[in-house]
């Protein structure tokens, strides 16, 4: 990774982490107990998921929101493309608000293949789209780019005169994307929280593109992972505070859009149709395994911001829509150990992710369990001869004899378990001072 990219990522993640701590400390007398409370509510949701989804469905339907169930990404894409075909001509613009669920199912690719023109309207996602890039962070998709990269992209796309000033770049994007909102027949968004007791779909954002995408077009399609349901409207304030504070260090996001129904006959504007796509895509199976608590995740990105590995590598190194600590668990949990098990090794197991998580997901424990599962499946095994090590460590005399030979192994070119990866960047460890066992044996 280029140094400038590392610097951008490091600066942004460090800033976000500091803001998170300051805001949560101000918002909650005891942030730890708020996180614990949120985790307990999420555990209730995961335990009662079937009932809550049916309650959500019934309440949405009663307000005129049409509910669709998608067992996997193929099914979700088919449903969404089907809705688009029924309502819009070939080539029609689909205004897209930022949504990890639609990234997960690669919706843009399917819309394009079906002849539609998806336009990402979140500034970061828009830049990702014009650069044919992929997002590298679940909250800040272009954390890996700087203003000069963006200036060149905007010049290439002829969005306005060349400028490196963030305000001017943003206004060029505003002007360009306005036309998409006005001409789109369909808007697609994600869902942050869906309230079972009322059927309200809650979307949080700062830019306003999400509100525009879900208000101006005639049809709004909301795509949500099935775990995003909350029991009660009264649960919203806690989760709104936690997601705003954990994601960007804000006390409240600029907009909390609470969609309850399509435009009613007495309302002057708003979409005529609202569709809710409930996406499973592996989640229901995760519910019954060791990685169940990963479904508490509210996609705030705090674990990415604090992770020392993410800070050095940025999100693209993980090779998946979900990166950082959350991705290292979610990707193999959803897509299987064979395809994604190697990600469990991309962690120093430092535990910072669990410490910052607003819903207390035990990510380090899950990474260890994934490593065990991957090892047993023969995925991403390292070359260290652990069975040989275990033999030594269970035969004390062999162990002691081996330790005596260590200085010899250092001095000679015999294979050494640490020499390959270790030595390129660090000197090999060598004994400092006395040997404990000899000292102990010689004590008077």
Partner 1 sequence: MSDRERILSVIGGSTGVALPSPWPGPSLEGALENRFESELKTLGAELVTADRLKELAGASVFADSDVPEPLLRGLVRTEDVWSADLGITLADYGIADTGSLLLTAGPGRNRLASLAPPHHIAVLSRTRILDTAEAAIEVLPSRTAVIVSGPSRTADIEGVIVRGIHGPRRLWVLLTD
Partner 2 sequence: MLTCLCDAFFGEVGIAAVRMLEHVGCTVEFNNAQTCCGQPPYNAGDWDSARKIADHAKRVFAGSDAPIVCASASCTAMLREGYALLYPGEPHVQAYELSEFLLTKMNVTEWPLLDPAPKVAFHRSCHGRGIHLGDSAERLLQMAGVQLIEFGATDQCCGFGGAFSVTHPKVSGEIGMEKLNRIRESGATEIVSGDMGCLMHLGGLIEKQNLMLRTRHYAELLAEAIPAKEAKLATPAG
User: Which positions lie near partner 2, rule CB under 8 A?
Assistant: 10, 14, 306, 308-309, 311-313, 344-352, 355, 364-365, 368-369, 371-376, 381-382, 384, 386-387, 389-390, 392-394, 396, 399-400, 403, 406, 417-418, 420-422, 424-440, 443-444
CA distance 26 to 19: 11
Residue 45's Cβ-count burial label (10 Å; 0-12, 13-18, 19+) is buried
Q: How many CB atoms lie within 10 A of CB 286?
A: 21
Q: How far is the CB of 281 from partner 2 (least distance, A)?
A: 26
CA distance 374 to 150: 39
CA distance 136 to 119: 19
**Contact between 378 and partner 1 per CB under 8 A:** no
Cβ(303)–Cβ(248) below 8 Å: no
- Of 248, 304, 314, 360, which one interacts with partner 1 (CB under 8 A)? 248
**Contact between 48 and partner 1 per CB under 8 A:** yes
**CB under 8 Å to 358, separation ≥6 — which residues?**
34, 35, 38, 242, 243, 245, 246, 298, 300, 302
Of residues 161-220, those binding partner 1 (CB under 8 A): 166-167, 169-171, 173-174, 177-178, 182, 198, 206-209, 211-212, 215-216
Stretch that binds partner 1, among 21-29, 326-334, 347-355, 425-433 (CB under 8 A): 21-29
Cβ(122)–Cβ(209) below 8 Å: yes
CB closer to partner 1 out of 96 and 211: 211
Q: How far is the CB of 41 from partner 2 (least distance, A)?
A: 24
CA distance 152 to 145: 11
**Which of partner 1, partner 2, none binds 382 (CB below 5-8 Å, type-dependent)?**
partner 2
Name the DSSP class of 233: G
**Contact between 442 and partner 1 per CB under 8 A:** no
CB closer to partner 2 out of 199 and 315: 315
Angle at the Cα of 398 from the Cα atoms of 393 and 403, rounded to 5 degrees: 80
x/- letters, 275..314, toward partner 1 (CB under 8 A): ---x-x---xx-xx--------------------------
**Contact between 100 and partner 1 per CB under 8 A:** no
């Amino acid at each position: 990774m280029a140094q400038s990219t590392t610097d951008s990522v490091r600066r942004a993640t460090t800033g976000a982490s500091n803001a998170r701590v300051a805001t949560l400390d101000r918002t909650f007398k005891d942030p730890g107990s708020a996180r614990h409370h949120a985790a307990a509510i999420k555990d209730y949701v995961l335990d009662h998921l079937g009932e809550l989804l049916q309650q959500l469905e019934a309440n949405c339907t009663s307000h005129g929101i049409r509910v669709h169930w998608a067992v996997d990404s193929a099914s979700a894409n088919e449903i969404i493309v089907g809705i688009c075909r029924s309502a819009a001509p070939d080539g029609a613009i689909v205004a897209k608000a930022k949504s990890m669920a639609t990234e997960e199912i690669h919706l843009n690719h399917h819309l394009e293949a079906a002849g539609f023109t998806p336009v990402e309207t979140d500034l970061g996602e828009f830049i990702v789209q014009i650069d044919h890039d992929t997002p590298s962070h679940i909250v800040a998709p272009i954390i890996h780019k700087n203003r000069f990269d963006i200036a060149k992209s905007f010049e290439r796309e002829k969005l306005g005169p060349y400028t490196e000033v963030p305000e001017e770049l943003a206004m060029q994007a505003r002007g360009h994307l306005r036309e998409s909102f006005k001409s789109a027949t369909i808007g697609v968004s994600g869902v942050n929280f869906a309230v079972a007791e009322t059927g309200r779909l809650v979307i949080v954002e700062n830019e306003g593109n999400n509100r525009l995408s879900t208000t101006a077009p005639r049809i709004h399609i909301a795509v949500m992972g099935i775990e995003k349901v909350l029991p009660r409207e009264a649960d919203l304030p806690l989760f709104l505070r936690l997601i705003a504070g954990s994601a960007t260090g804000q006390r409240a996001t600029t907009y909390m859009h609470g969609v309850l129904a399509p435009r009613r006959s007495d309302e002057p504007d708003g979409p005529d149709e609202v569709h809710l796509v409930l996406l499973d895509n592996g989640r229901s199976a995760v519910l019954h395994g060791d990685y169940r608590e990963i479904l508490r995740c509210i996609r705030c990105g705090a674990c990415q911001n604090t992770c020392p590995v993410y800070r050095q590598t940025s999100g693209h190194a993980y090779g998946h829509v979900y990166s950082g600590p959350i991705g290292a668990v979610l990707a193999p949990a959803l897509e299987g150990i064979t395809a994604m098990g190697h990600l469990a090794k991309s962690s120093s197991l430092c535990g910072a992710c669990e410490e910052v998580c607003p819903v207390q997901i035990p990510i380090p424990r899950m990474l260890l369990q994934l490593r065990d599962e991957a090892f047993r499946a023969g995925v991403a095994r390292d070359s260290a001869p652990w069975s040989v090590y275990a033999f030594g460590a269970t035969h004390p005399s062999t162990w002691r004899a081996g330790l005596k030979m260590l200085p010899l192994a250092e001095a000679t070119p015999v294979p050494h378990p640490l020499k390959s990866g270790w030595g390129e960047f660090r000197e090999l460890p060598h004994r400092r001072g006395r040997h404990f066992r000899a000292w102990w044996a010689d004590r008077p």
